[in-house]
Amino acid sequence: MRPSSLLRSAAAAGDAHSYAKSLSYATTLVRKFDSDAIYPSHFYPAASRPAYLALKAFNVELATIDDNVSNPMVGRMRYQWWRDAVKGVFESRPPPHPLCTLLSTLPQRPQLSSYHFTRLINAREQHFLNPSFHNLQDLADYSAGTQASLLYLLLQATSPPRVGGAGELLAHAKPFEHKGDEHPRMESRQLHLAVASTIAILLRSIPHHATKRINVIPAVIAARHNLREESLFRQGPNAEGLRECVATMVGIAEAELRTARGCFDGTTGVPERAVPVFASATSARSFLTRLSSDKVAFDVFNGDLQKRYWKYPFQVWGDVRYKRF
């Protein structure tokens, strides 16, 4: 074998090892901090599963910054690092970080929009600096920047690439192409789904945030039910008005899920390749159902909610099997 061939073989082996290591890093990160997200990954085609794990891991990296730093300046530096890292990934000069290595080598990378990466970073940073919500519009804006951006990226990752006249890949292929009457605002489906997912995440995080003296319940809802922040921080589950606030937010989330489903009326339903993407809603719906059950009765501090739910894997399977969310 010629020396040049040996060098190419060595380089290929090195690239494969680096890719496997990066994918392992992303998978471990998701399994540790977002275990519910592992189950939908099994329903992605093998070709797009690494993209799903990379995007979920990217979201985890950003979501855990506020728990890893206490100084706002250090936090802002971390978010800026990720902005620069994303820019490097899209300019084919990724920094030496396993997640950046994985993102830069994904076959779907040309289909992904750097706008949604940056939007996700900006929304996370803004929430880090000001984690409270005054009204529902604040919550909707946060949802659009976080969960909606993540859904857009996942939809882009599952779209087959379009090829231009010269054979080059065309970026940002249309996420949905299926038979039936197309809804005039396709993105509304993701937006409604994102709001429901965001509310479920926030409700689940109330006990954790309360220990840090942070209230993620919108002020208008807290005022409506006479919930005082100091009572939440000191009394936890016994705070007056807490369960009423939680019930209100659950009702909003369930209404958003119904609206998202209604957006598919008159179509052939969720496109086949987008089914695993919409399976991301299973975690939110499952949590909301348990939270509103007679046993839990809107008590977000109930210990059962912090445990893994044995029915959840079967719920994911059922949602994928019957194309529902």
Average confidence score pLDDT of the chain: 88
Higher model confidence: residue 15 or residue 22?
Answer: 22
Task: Give the Cβ contact number of residue 5 at 10 Å.
Answer: 9
Say what the pLDDT of residue 2 is.
54
The whole-number average pLDDT for the span 27-47 is 96
Sign of CA dihedral 139, 253, 64, 20: negative
For residues 107 and 137, membership in a common domain is answered with no
The whole-number average pLDDT for the span 258-270 is 82
From residue 201, alpha-carbon distances to 96, 100, 217 in Å are 31, 26, 12
- Judged against a pLDDT cut of 60, whether residue 144 lies above it is answered with yes
Token pair recorded at residue 140? 């909707």
Q: Residue 137 falls within a domain, yes or no?
A: yes
Which pTM value belongs to this model?
0.88
From residue 70, alpha-carbon distances to 64, 121, 129, 299 in Å are 12, 18, 11, 29
For residues 135 and 94, membership in a common domain is answered with no
Token pair recorded at residue 142? 């946060």
For residues 48 and 180, membership in a common domain is answered with no
For residues 84 and 152, membership in a common domain is answered with no
Q: What is the pLDDT of residues 215-251, one digit of tens each?
A: 999 999 999 999 999 999 999 999 999 999 999 999 9
For residues 59 and 183, membership in a common domain is answered with no
Say what the pLDDT of residue 161 is.
64
Q: Residue 167 falls within a domain, yes or no?
A: no
For residues 146 and 277, membership in a common domain is answered with yes
Total of domains in the chain: 2
For residues 191 and 304, membership in a common domain is answered with yes
Q: Residue 171 falls within a domain, yes or no?
A: no
Say what the pLDDT of residue 230 is.
96
| Single-letter code of the amino acid located at 39 | Y
Token pair recorded at residue 167? 């054979």
Token pair recorded at residue 170? 């065309």
- Strands (E) across the chain are located at 162-163, 169-170
Q: Which of 191, 199, 196, 236 is nearest to 221 (CA)?
A: 199
- Judged against a pLDDT cut of 80, whether residue 13 lies above it is answered with no
Q: What is the pLDDT of residues 146-168, one digit of tens each?
A: 999 999 999 999 987 655 444 44
Say what the pLDDT of residue 98 is.
97
The whole-number average pLDDT for the span 72-84 is 97
The whole-number average pLDDT for the span 81-86 is 98
From residue 183, alpha-carbon distances to 180, 265, 278, 298 in Å are 9, 9, 17, 35
Token pair recorded at residue 323? 């194309």
Range of the domain at 20: 10-113
The whole-number average pLDDT for the span 41-70 is 95
- Judged against a pLDDT cut of 80, whether residue 173 lies above it is answered with no
Say what the pLDDT of residue 242 is.
98
Higher model confidence: residue 8 or residue 296?
Answer: 296
For residues 98 and 185, membership in a common domain is answered with no
Lowest mean pLDDT among 1-15, 123-137, 167-181, 257-271: 167-181
The whole-number average pLDDT for the span 137-141 is 96
**What one-character DSSP code corresponds to residue 196?**
H
Q: Residue 5 falls within a domain, yes or no?
A: no
Give the Cα separation of 108 and 255 in Å (integer): 33
CATH number at residue 325: 1.10.600.10
Lowest mean pLDDT among 41-50, 107-116, 163-172, 205-214: 163-172
Say what the pLDDT of residue 187 is.
62
Q: Residue 268 falls within a domain, yes or no?
A: yes
Q: What is the pLDDT of residues 267-321, one digit of tens each?
A: 777 888 889 999 999 999 999 999 999 999 999 999 999 889 999 999 999 999 9
Which pLDDT band holds residue 119 (cuts at 50, 70, 90)? Answer: very high
For residues 150 and 204, membership in a common domain is answered with yes
Cβ-contact 121, 62 below 8 angstroms = yes
For residues 155 and 22, membership in a common domain is answered with no
Say what the pLDDT of residue 273 is.
84
Q: Which residues contact 118 (CB under 8 A, 6 or more apart)?
A: 83, 86
For residues 216 and 257, membership in a common domain is answered with yes
- Judged against a pLDDT cut of 60, whether residue 186 lies above it is answered with no
